[in-house]
Structure 1
Amino acid sequence: MKFGQQLRTSLIRDYYYYYISYDDLKNSLKTPYVTEPTPSDPHPQRRAWTEDDEQRFVTELEGELDKVFTFQRVKSGEIVRRIKSSEKEVNEVLARQQRIIEGGARDGEEAPSEEDFMLLEEDLSDVIADVHDLAKFTQLNYTGFQKIIKKHDKMTSWHLKPVFAARLKAKPFFKDNYDAFVVKLSKLYDLVRTRGNPIRGDSAAGGGQQNFVRQTTKYWVHQDNITELKLIILKHLPVLVFNPSKEFDVKDSAISSIYYDNTDTWELYTGRLKKTEGAEAIRLRWYGGMDSETIFVERKTHREDWTGEKSVKARFALKEKNVNAFLAGKMTVESVFEKMRKDGKKSEKEIADLEQLAREIQYRVITRKLKPVTRSFYNRTAFQLPGDARVRISLDTELTMVREDNLDGRQRAGKNWRRMDIGIDYPFPQLPPEDVERFPYAVLEVKLQTQAGQEPPEWVRELTSSHLVEAVPKFSKFIHGTAICQPNRINLLPFWMPQMDVDIRKPVSHRFGISRPVNSAGYSTGDEQLDDDSDDDSVRGEGEENGDVDSEDARRLREYRQGRDPYEYRNGGVNALDVEERIAAQPLNSEDYPLYDSDEEDEEDALLAAKKAGGPKYWILLSKQKLERAGDLGLKLLSKIAPLPKPTPIPSNGATVGGLVAGNEVQAKRFKAPPGKRIHVPVRVEPKVYFAAERTFLSWLQFAIILGSIAATLLNFGDTVSLASAWGFTVIAAIALLYSAGLYLWRVDKIRKRRATGSYHDKYGPTALCVGLFAAVAVSFGLRIREDGWFER
């Protein structure tokens, strides 16, 4: 969708006059025609862009920037005042409730009613909707300025982008951080929702939680949807504040982790990517700025489901000043926990477990020569009931991966356990491009602890299936950062890499998102009161129904927004599918169509390597490839010529968008890794997979033995026909034996390497065996009948 169309479909009615006039600015970039348009030349050449045109355009652009900036400042101040007013009202109601409970009520004072709390909840919901609308307004206008500047530079060849960047910094309407609003509203909404009795418990993020197991699913969130997602979650779960007595500070949400690995073998990266049994990740994590004194040493261990164990994360705390000595083995494990043992706050068994963990990590770092390789930084907003870990949702924004190694002749961390030239100053402008990867999305983690057979809350299911998130199972910051920052050393890429090139934004889900109370005056374009897909008068704006002066604005807004995406609200507003879902929902041309060409990439890589080396190996591989392609082409031609029934093509219903339909063909994108690299497709391997392959081989072996026994029996008859039949059955038995042995070895090799090779089933072997057995029996019967002279009778 073009931005002008996106702007029209995303307008908020109450903010209608304060958006960037994108269409007017775009028209200002068009100079008059040199000659009048004619039927033969409807688009003649335009006059060249002059300095006067530039000054005129810049003046208009400055006016639009000033309009947007002023409105954003005013609206932000209004939200702050409304939050303070709501806070005052909530505190007054709760104080009155507390006086009634304690028996110190004033004369004529009554306890707060359910209606009082409902009114407070509606007021807060309205404020939440205001924050949502302002965030959308800011994001949309910032995108508009970026788009129009890009269009200006392209159409006029005058470079305005660097100059206007300074003017944007002078009026940074887009730099407002809404996290403070979210935290404050979360606290107030939780007080009102629980009627003044919020759930209390331990909110500690580190100290009390040493070993914990959760069912975790991960999602990507587009930057446009971050604030809306936070506001939706806070209406169900409060923001988890680790220190409620302290005023909210942005740096309190910062989390940094240093991941370790062997820079020669990359064994920890490979193990975590392939999800091998017992694969470990070792990292050092701290919360807040670089001045944090407490460092958590963590080890994550992957366990396969068939083992009956769960993947677990274990950690212990270490003082920052002792980290280098501990990792080098100069500091003993006993001295690390000496103070903990003296304090007596933990039992001897807990301390012994921590000592065992520290001893194993220290041994692993020293013996495996593990060094710091990748740092991940992000700001985390966690949502959870204090002391209740059944549902925990965290949203990591401003995710950044940074190189920490000393490779390529640069001393980044030196002999220290982390580099010291950066802190939490996102976006880390001092770093060279090759040292940093700024992840374009936020990462949502939904962590559930539910009993067997228990379903997660309904709102969680709605959230994770909405347009706001894109599921990316098993996404890892360590794996992604290492693969991106080490392009010359990492050749095995995670399976989500091709997904980075797909726009994860989706059409708005029907009746899901931030909504205002029914009696509220304002609403956004997503509300039901203004449905622009209806042409009749039965669907009107709120102002139209009441017959007030807002009906004219609603009419003009509807007329302005006629260019919406025809697929956005198809089928009554049901959420349309994203790119991968649309591809998966359509039948593909081949039943063995590979989504990732991992095997082909291996063959092409081997061919390229042989071509560089030269010699007969290259010509052998090239001839093999040509013969395989010629054989495939011959099979396709035979399948087209063969007189077999062909499926009738089903006409497209137009439900597929994004350029995926060409006639009646579904155009599916094949993801291909760069030369020399391979996409790792996760394959789950359990012991029963090996047993299944072995049972299949034994079945073939049993069949071959039966055929061999038949052949041996026929030899005992001694005549010519029996000898010929015995030879036929013996040949078939030997072929079946060799074929099954080769197939078994191939399958075991692929299973051991965890390769998803499209299909493990045998399409040709059973058919060929049946045909050969039928031919042998038919020939045997024919010879016997001929010898006995049955045809002569």
Structure 2
Amino acid sequence: MRFGKTLKASIYPPWEGKYIDYAKLKGMLRERELDGDDSDSEPQPWTENDEESFVQELVNVQLDKVNAFQSEMSQQLRDRTNACEAKLMPLARKSSGDDGEIDEKKRKEIAEEAVQELDQITKEVSELEKYSRINFSGFLKAAKKHDRKRGARYRIRPLLQVRLSQLSFNSEDYSPLLHRLSAMYTFTRQILGLELPEGQEASGDGRLGHDSYVSYKFWVHTDNIVEVKTHILRRLPVLLYNPTTSKDLDVSQKDPTITSLYFDNSSFDLYNQKVTRAEGAGSLRLRWSGDLNEAPAIFLEKKVVVSEDRSREVRVQLKGKHVQEFLKGEYKFEKKVHRLEDRAQGESQEAQALKKEVEELQSFIKEHDLQPMLRANYTRTAFQIPGDDRIRISLDTNLALIREDALDPQRPCRDPDDWHRRDIDDLGMQYPFSSINKGEIARFPHALLEIKLRNGARHVEWLHDLMVSHLVKEAPRFSKFVHGVASLFEDHINSLPFWLGELENDIRQDPQTAFQQEQEREAQRAEEDFVVGSFLGAKGSPLQTMMGSPISRMGAGRGSSPGRSTMLSGTPSRVERPSITAKDIPRTTEISKPSPTTEATPSQPAQSQEGAASTSYLGSLFPSFSMSRYAQAHRQRGSKLPPGVSAPEVWIKDAGPVRVESKVWLANQRTFIKWQHVSVLLASLSLALYNAAGINNIVAQALAIVYTFFAVFASVWGWYMYEKRARLIRQRSGKDLDNMFGPLVVCIGLAGALLLNFGFKYKATLDAARGYAYPSSVEMLTNATTDSLFTVQSNV
């Protein structure tokens, strides 16, 4: 089917007129003149004005129209979702035990109205995602048509791909919105007394099988491959394929070359199902490792998507000589079935299972008329702890996608009577396959990193650091099969994956920029969690149990990162990273400082931030009594350690004898001597004031007594700080040795003395000007005070 007909069939009637005007673009290209259909008039030359008009219409007018409508509808759907949340919020507070006057009948009426609105929102979210995909394909199709028919001087597809990567309509992540809709759906079902759909009764961890994995996919620039490998190698060993024996392990062997041969039919039904993520979509491939001439084990694998987050796989092992017979339905593993039955002395479950798998695979091939279409050849480096499959990481490099079809009977890429290309396998071709024709091969420019986490292996800090770093770029739902078909069979398909628009971009990032983006995603995720958590008031509800699982916490609403998707039931996706909840090893010297650009979130209101800022100055003056959130959490942390981790009796830093540099110890003593010097000066000042004061000069006497207390304080404070700092040095503590409380007290006292001295001096000057005789005692007091204060102040 031509793309124009596909576009017409995909139009959502309420949005008619908002799609790309593909017919107008084809008319501007004057395609009929090139095809010779317009026989009434002679073809007109393609001018600069024609070129400019087409580019303006495609890149500016049509693209801006589609992007503006997508942004407008996306915002409307969010506003409508917010309105639903506001309508259901009183019911959520009522469920959680808050006071309210809403009766049961009114609750159900509100819930029914909300369900109707949620149904409409969910439908339009699905249509908007289809709208984005079909328009994205239309822009690339129009650009390709221009480059093929009018691109002798100018090629606009690279320009268009750069423009597409700057817009949001082809990278909008609807997963956070779906996550909120899912929470409200579950909440309204509880109010209406409806049962949850099958598969949601269990908790988040129980919902997935024991052997289920959550997969994260990334692109890695060639400049960062070595750094990514070394980052992983520090924690996981390289998995060696097929070592000879455990005693004779060849660690110098090269990474294996893996070949996957994907199947599809001439209509590319399996491809279209996979791109649209249709439920029940299946795929089929042959896979082997190494050179086919070495007779490796060949596996025929069928994978069927059961639900949004689960799939089922059927696999049988074949020999090369039996592959073609099996594909035709002539080979059914009769010998192996008989052998299993003889071993069990009759019918056996293994034999029945094998028969069922063979019948399923052969019927699947026959039903869809499948044939080999695409070969993916790549070098794989696998990382895994032997015997522990909780964390599996693979890094694929040198990915080449090669046509393996026989669609063109005149020039087939593969012999229609054979199951693989002989020119590649018989000659043992290797990457970069330079002898393959240009239109038959597509070399992927980046490496592919896939991280698979099994249940129970969610909170791994070093993996989280890698996945949010500048070294990788998220590529959710990336598929070698989909990318190969989209790159090599574009004329046969009408739907393209979104990541095609990002291939022309440089995926390398600045580390600081990557960090800031991750902070923004964390804030957005906290906001989404806060909104969804409002509907979890009823204790023991299935949704609350599901949302409390590690999987849902990792996948809850990381909505600002393009290219990642959160599944409806809360499984991880492109915006989700494992939330680090505990350290593997306790640390005492690392203190994470908040970013100065951190904004208030619902879980951290702006008022608390203002309160923390107001106490920061006092906390600097009195560090032992800090009221910061970190200090409070540190004091309350106590015995909160991860399961299986106990507090060490002796820290590594405390092992061995205490070695203190002489300058450190002498500095502490020198500070103590300085404080005693200040104490002696203050005592001398107080004695001079008391002796100079007359019997009737009560102010001077009181001032002398006050300064006696200051002298005592300076002496005691100096001794206290000396002992405290000596203890911290002996204990090898990481605490700060400075303290401003003592100097602050002394300085305030000296400032007060200076003010009083100024007052006395000023009064004496006025009295002398009026002709009064100034008492000699007061003059001696002011002179002594001035001299002593400057001496003490210089020492402090």
The answer to whether the superposition gives a TM-score over 0.5 is no
Output the TM-score relative to the length of structure 2.
0.36
Output the TM-score relative to the length of structure 1.
0.37
